Structure 1
Amino acid sequence: MPDVSPGKWHLAHVTWFWETFLLKPAQAGYTPFDPRFNYLFNSYYEAVGERHARPERGFLTRPGLNEVLDYRAHVDRAVSAWFDQADAEAVQGFRTVIETGFAHEEQHQELFLTDIKHVLSRNSFPEAGYPRQMQTPPQLAGARPDPVWIGFEGGLIEFGHEGAEFAFDNEGPRHKAWLEPFALASRPVTNAEFLAFIEDGGYQQAEHWLSEGWARMQEEGRSHPYYWRRQDGRWTHFTLHGEQMLHPDAPVSHVDYFEASAFASWAGCRLPEEREWECAARDMDPSQGRWADPDGLLEPQPLKQGSSFQALYGEVWEWTRSAYSAYPGYQPAEGAIGEYNGKFMCGQFVLRGGSCLTPPDHARPTYRNFFPPDAQWQMTGLRLAKDL
């Protein structure tokens, strides 16, 4: 798939970021580890120069992993040495680059896992990236309690990031927007609920689909979420822990925007606006979410019924129906680093919350993730909303 990159590319690219945006401009006389890497591991920064095409990254047989690790060690040593000798003023001058570099690396930690999952799933005999014995879930069939609806009065409310702590430039500036009264479901949509949509013929009911989504479903012959398989009369899905039976009460994952929107229409609801999601999550503690843990479970886990919000943070990134666009007064940063977010504000939709593959420090109420509407390989799900 054109969007997926090899693991060693992610390792080299985040290393390249530090070399390009910190070491080269901050350290006089710095010698790059290998000048060719500026072409191979530049992702999309036009101001930095030409680059290797993204769909061709899987064909990069060289450098090998050992050389990439040597590159990473070389840059790590150089960055540590710079911090040791730089004064406070110099560090402050590169504060935005440094903080962006940390956050950028966290983003690629999640991409590393989702890309590994996709590559492993394409094997003729898929194997687990992180083998783990899982408990046998209950049957998918059968009645399940509906989510609780949690209402909000709306009104003129402030949104976006403000303050001294780090946030990406697309999270600001702080601004006011009007919300009509609305309600959000207390939890994300589950596998059992999405299976009901499938069994009711949801993938064959054009009235629930956006035109482009319907055309894609017909062209690709899709009838279920990515990684789902029906074998011997039962549903399974491929996970980083191998092929597993679907748990009815776990959030559905790897659905694209078109599938999320169609399900919401079928359910007589809609997807949230991103500002509705932020309004609901602003008083929630992100640290209570279930985040990436290499020694733990790297798949969404069953949710319990309750009267309060569950999994607003963690489990699955939640599609909103908000197009990814600039907030009022938005200005991208100057220079190449300004290409990080702003130039992608076209043809994409905002997701909120984070997933079970997201690093624990990489979440906040104002965080705006974004993907094209046909993106399936990320840990994406949905939460329903409705007007009051």
Structure 2
Amino acid sequence: MIADQIQISERFLAVRSQTEKICEPLKIEDYVVQPIVDVSPPKWHLGHTTWFFETFILVPNHTGYQPFDANYNYLFNSYYESAGARVIRTDRGNITRPGVKEVMQYRSHVNHHMIEFLNSNYSTSLNSLIELGLQHEQQHQELLIYDIKYILGKNPLFPAYGKLNETGEVLKSENKWLTIEEGVYKIGYNGRAFSFDNEHGSHKTYLNKCALADRLVTNREYLEFISDDGYKNFRYWLSDAWEWVKENHIEAPEHWHKVEGQWNHYNLNGGLTPLILDAPVMHISFFEADAFAKWKGMRLPTEQEWEVACLRYGKIDANSNFSDNGKYAPQPAKNNQLYGDCWEWTASAYRPYPYYKAPEGAVGEYNGKFMINQMVLRGGSSATPRDHIRPTYRNFFHPHLRWMFSGIRLAKDL
């Protein structure tokens, strides 16, 4: 084998192993629960990430390969119309069979044949597709952490996920500002390493002079919004947002619970615990982020402003909080938090960049068809693998969602 093949084989096994490691603290009953449509059962994630390699790598390219089970294409296809029929998303929790044992056998089967394939004289032109599969699995590792937290956080007993690293020193920080001068800037990915197609179409953008806060909004600050009847004053809310607040009786971030007059939150590290006031507020919808910014007399940054600020001020250092740290929770600011801790809502709709073209074939369904009715988030979170993020990475979610690790960075015009 050549060096590149050895490297990709080792990376394949490392990524696949990490997915299973995330699931190790679970009880067998935890693997099948689907409390809401946005949460997929952990067992489904294990199957789907395996299906990706079987369907897009092994079946069309590995001579003589036989699918592990013909029914799995139907069970574990997510949204790829070109790959055939699939179980609708709301029914993933109904897949009680195959069991966890069989799904783990499926993973072992595909892993074995993938390593066999990678050790053969396969066409290295497939390396970019294999890397896409690995990046895709890393995305699902993050989703797994979100979903596990939601599953356990809605359990009446609020069980802890496991003994994780402690949250560390609590630091208070006054808000300072990262200035962006007026001018024309280039954004979008233009390198040679891996990137998703929605980052492509590197182009110039004009920005007025502005500033972004040098840290994320904290629980302490968000409590002031709640105490000032922020959820009761329609003036801060967009029309759709105000209807969402009223219809769903929203009065605090997801996973917050008032116990004997004090706010607590469900924390993977310890179950139901008191808020760490100087940690970033998390599980915030775009609706809430936008309302909070208006209450502060400020706004959310555009994704263009965020990327320019990150390119100038952002760096990954020893204080950057990613999933590799094993905390799975945002930490009080020790740097400017442009990377890690919480995904940051921007004021930008998720739309294609100039010159964007979706790839041919099934992988063309990966990003492009979702470029409607969603908002862009930037920066990664404490559930994001450290090697998975970059300044141009564009995450996206519908504006009402908040089970993911999402937070707020303020911006203002100068």
Match of 2:322 in 1: 291
Once the two structures are superposed, the pairs formed by residues 82-121 of structure 1 within 5 Å of their partners are 82-87=117-122, 90-92=123-125, 94-121=126-153
- Residue identity in the other structure for 2:281: V
Find 1:214's aligned residue among 242, 251, 259: 242
Match of 1:62 in 2: 97
Query: Does residue 195 of the first structure (1) align with residue 223 of the second (2)?
Result: yes
Query: Does residue 163 of the first structure (1) align with residue 191 of the second (2)?
Result: yes
CA–CA separation in structure 2 for the residues paired with 1:8 and 1:91: 31
Deviations 1:92-140 (A, max 9, x none): 2x122111111001000010111011011111211011235867998xx
Match of 2:251 in 1: 223
CA–CA separation in structure 1 for the residues paired with 2:167 and 2:81: 48
CA–CA separation in structure 2 for the residues paired with 1:86 and 1:65: 33
Match of 1:141 in 2: none
Question: Secondary structure at the residue paired with 2:119?
Answer: helix
CA–CA separation in structure 2 for the residues paired with 1:224 and 1:136: 25
Preserved contact between residue 165 and residue 327 of structure 2 (Cα < 8 Å): no
CA–CA separation in structure 1 for the residues paired with 2:205 and 2:413: 17
Preserved contact between residue 307 and residue 392 of structure 2 (Cα < 8 Å): yes
CA–CA separation in structure 2 for the residues paired with 1:135 and 1:183: 29
Once the two structures are superposed, the pairs formed by residues 193-272 of structure 1 within 5 Å of their partners are 193-241=221-269, 242-272=271-301
Preserved contact between residue 41 and residue 147 of structure 2 (Cα < 8 Å): yes
Once the two structures are superposed, the pairs formed by residues 343-362 of structure 1 within 5 Å of their partners are 343-362=369-388
Once the two structures are superposed, the pairs formed by residues 120-199 of structure 1 within 5 Å of their partners are 120-132=152-164, 146-199=174-227
CA–CA separation in structure 2 for the residues paired with 1:136 and 1:76: 37
Question: Secondary structure at the residue paired with 1:177?
Answer: strand
Gap regions ≥5 residues in structure 2 = 1-35
Q: So what's the TM-score if we normalise by structure 1?
A: 0.94
CA–CA separation in structure 1 for the residues paired with 2:185 and 2:77: 39
- Residue identity in the other structure for 1:200: D
- Residue identity in the other structure for 1:202: G
Preserved contact between residue 180 and residue 209 of structure 2 (Cα < 8 Å): yes
Match of 1:314 in 2: 340
CA–CA separation in structure 2 for the residues paired with 1:190 and 1:168: 31
Match of 2:9 in 1: none
- Residue identity in the other structure for 1:182: C
Preserved contact between residue 178 and residue 214 of structure 2 (Cα < 8 Å): yes
Higher helix share: 2
Change in 2 beyond 3 A, CA 1:334/1:127: same
Preserved contact between residue 287 and residue 360 of structure 1 (Cα < 8 Å): no
Match of 1:15 in 2: 50
Question: Secondary structure at the residue paired with 2:56?
Answer: helix
CA–CA separation in structure 2 for the residues paired with 1:238 and 1:78: 40
Preserved contact between residue 206 and residue 214 of structure 1 (Cα < 8 Å): yes
Preserved contact between residue 83 and residue 91 of structure 1 (Cα < 8 Å): no
Number of equivalenced pairs: 376
Preserved contact between residue 77 and residue 87 of structure 2 (Cα < 8 Å): yes
Preserved contact between residue 271 and residue 384 of structure 1 (Cα < 8 Å): yes
Deviation at 1:332, TM superposition (A): 0.5
CA–CA separation in structure 1 for the residues paired with 2:297 and 2:99: 52
Preserved contact between residue 164 and residue 326 of structure 2 (Cα < 8 Å): no
Deviation at 1:239, TM superposition (A): 1.3
Q: Identity percentage over the alignment?
A: 48
CA–CA separation in structure 1 for the residues paired with 2:165 and 2:392: 36
Match of 2:330 in 1: 300
CA–CA separation in structure 1 for the residues paired with 2:329 and 2:54: 33
